[in-house]
Amino acid sequence: MGTYDKKKILEIDRRHIWHPFTQMKDYEDRDPPVIVAARGTKLYSIEGQEFYDTISSWWTNTHGHLHPQLVKALKDQLDRLDHVNFSGFTHPYAAEVVERLRGFLPSKLIRFFFSDNGSTAVEVGLKMAFQFWQNRGFSRKTRFVCLENAYHGDTLGAVSVGGVDLFFKLYKPLTFKTYRAPAPYCYRCPENRGSTFTFSAENISCNFRCLKGLKSILKEHHEEIAALIVEPRLLAAGGMIVYPAEYLRGLVEQARRYGVLVIFDEVATGFGRTGRMFALESAGVVPDILCLAKGLTGGMLPLALTVTTEEVFQAFYADYLEGKTFYHGHSFTAHPLGCAVAAANLKLFAEEKPLEKGRAVQEFFHQRLEEIFSDRPYVGDIRYLGYVGALELVADRRTKEPFPPEKRVGFQVYMASLKAGLVLRPLGDVIYWFLPLCVTKEEVDEILSRSREVLDGILLGK
């Protein structure tokens, strides 16, 4: 398939390819765009149609597509080392990633376990937390606490600590039992009867009813709880729910009080997306275990890390016959190509400081979200944090009643957005933008204006 043959590609796709998170019947009489190129904030189809990649290719892409420094790092690495078993061998490219990443992480996080995607980073974190207690003789500590609306991946351990029923309910019989604490979902909190938007969740004044739910779980069950897992500041797949830093501080405080490890899943929030290198910085808290993936390579290649403390590591460090080894690994652990690109990505963060340079763009993005959407009758909530923005669409703004599921508003928005040269991939009725750090004010304006046209067209019949 040297030159592209659209008809043939679509024929193979329709006959043989099963796409993720997709009801394939929806494509019975429509074709997905065939993407053949990407650059900066845009994707290009086989016919040359341009799309703004407003979701950064499933939240992975940080500096825009095909950033020249990342491309060069990958090409250079191809002349050196493609792959080596990481059990019993090491390589300079992994060492460089660790050394560079340490410059961005809290000083307590100094032990790095490589894997290859966000779900595996979480599986490693869960097993690590569980075995930490087993190795230390706390055999009863086998359970986890997660939040409602949490999403940590699609492998079964990650599903067990997930809180999005649409994705996970069916698989419940396959999963282990966890405690689910209420989500800090300010817009739908029973105490929030007003109609104010959440925005950045900075000015929320409440008595943290959601935290009380967590406290009672910990108080009652802490002796059997190994760890608590949470996405800091943003429940991403659960609806781009932005929540206060104070909640995160309270959560960590409670976990410490009851002797429960804290796992932060920064697979989505890491690498600048929330306006800080890591979302944990906004709350000034440090977990025992941190999961990273997606933006680690700037979104170019699959690579993941589970980072932990010396204390956790030491619980595994023993004579072989004591049986404390961490039996976990993947074929592509610390893949040298991924590591070379990740090192270049981290170098770029350190030298070019995109987050500092992008401060004004982020503020502009938030301001335009408010200006463009506050008066739209279909907008129940507006939320934002750094380069992430979201609208929760509702049928009735006063009662916050959602649209009936059969209306498939999100899917309609997705299909219409493609026609408008945008990729909007809503989560149910939550429309969001997960922008790359290279986006300009002009692009933000264009993306939001086109998005409004799409939404007005569907929901106001304009």
Ligand X SMILES: Cc1ncc(COP(=O)(O)O)c(C=O)c1O
Q: Which residues bind ligand X (CB under 6 A)?
A: 59, 117-119, 122, 151-153, 231, 236-237, 265, 267-268, 293
Closest separation in Å from C-beta 425 to ligand X: 12
Closest separation in Å from C-beta 418 to ligand X: 21
Alpha-carbon gap, residue 356 to 453, rounded angstroms: 31
Alpha-carbon gap, residue 279 to 144, rounded angstroms: 22
Closest separation in Å from C-beta 462 to ligand X: 33
Task: Classify residue 453 by burial, with Cβ atoms within 10 Å: 0-12, 13-18, 19+.
Answer: middle
143 versus 152: smaller Cβ distance to ligand X: 152
Closest separation in Å from C-beta 97 to ligand X: 17
What number of other Cβ atoms are within 10 A of residue 172's Cβ?
A: 11
119 versus 274: smaller Cβ distance to ligand X: 119
Closest separation in Å from C-beta 193 to ligand X: 30
Task: Classify residue 145 by burial, with Cβ atoms within 10 Å: 0-12, 13-18, 19+.
Answer: buried
Closest separation in Å from C-beta 399 to ligand X: 30
Distances (CA, A) of 181 to 147, 151, 153, 154, 250: 5, 13, 18, 20, 13
Between 359-373 and 441-459, two packed helices, what is the crossing angle to 10 degrees?
20
141 versus 152: smaller Cβ distance to ligand X: 152
Give the 3-state secondary structure of residue 102. helix
The strand pair at 143-147 and 179-181 is best described as parallel
Q: Which residues pair with 161 in a beta bridge?
A: none
Closest separation in Å from C-beta 386 to ligand X: 15
Which amino acid is present at 93? Answer: Y
265 versus 381: smaller Cβ distance to ligand X: 265
62 versus 117: smaller Cβ distance to ligand X: 117
Count of residues making up the chain:
462
213 versus 295: smaller Cβ distance to ligand X: 295
Alpha-carbon gap, residue 166 to 311, rounded angstroms: 37
Helix-strand-coil percent breakdown of the chain, rounded to 5? Answer: 40, 15, 40
236 versus 283: smaller Cβ distance to ligand X: 236
Alpha-carbon gap, residue 121 to 394, rounded angstroms: 35
213 versus 239: smaller Cβ distance to ligand X: 239
Alpha-carbon gap, residue 124 to 289, rounded angstroms: 10
Q: Which residue has the tokens 């989560």?
A: 427
Closest separation in Å from C-beta 122 to ligand X: 5
Alpha-carbon gap, residue 110 to 433, rounded angstroms: 33
Closest separation in Å from C-beta 119 to ligand X: 3
Least Cα distance to 257 among 218, 286, 211 occurs for 218
Closest separation in Å from C-beta 294 to ligand X: 6
Alpha-carbon gap, residue 226 to 178, rounded angstroms: 11
Distances (CA, A) of 405 to 233, 359, 394: 27, 37, 11
Closest separation in Å from C-beta 8 to ligand X: 29
306 versus 417: smaller Cβ distance to ligand X: 306
> Measured at CB, which residue is nearest to ligand X?
118
Residue 85 phi/psi, 5-degree rounding, is -55, 125
Which pair of structure tokens corresponds to residue 99?
């050394």
237 versus 241: smaller Cβ distance to ligand X: 237
117 versus 200: smaller Cβ distance to ligand X: 117
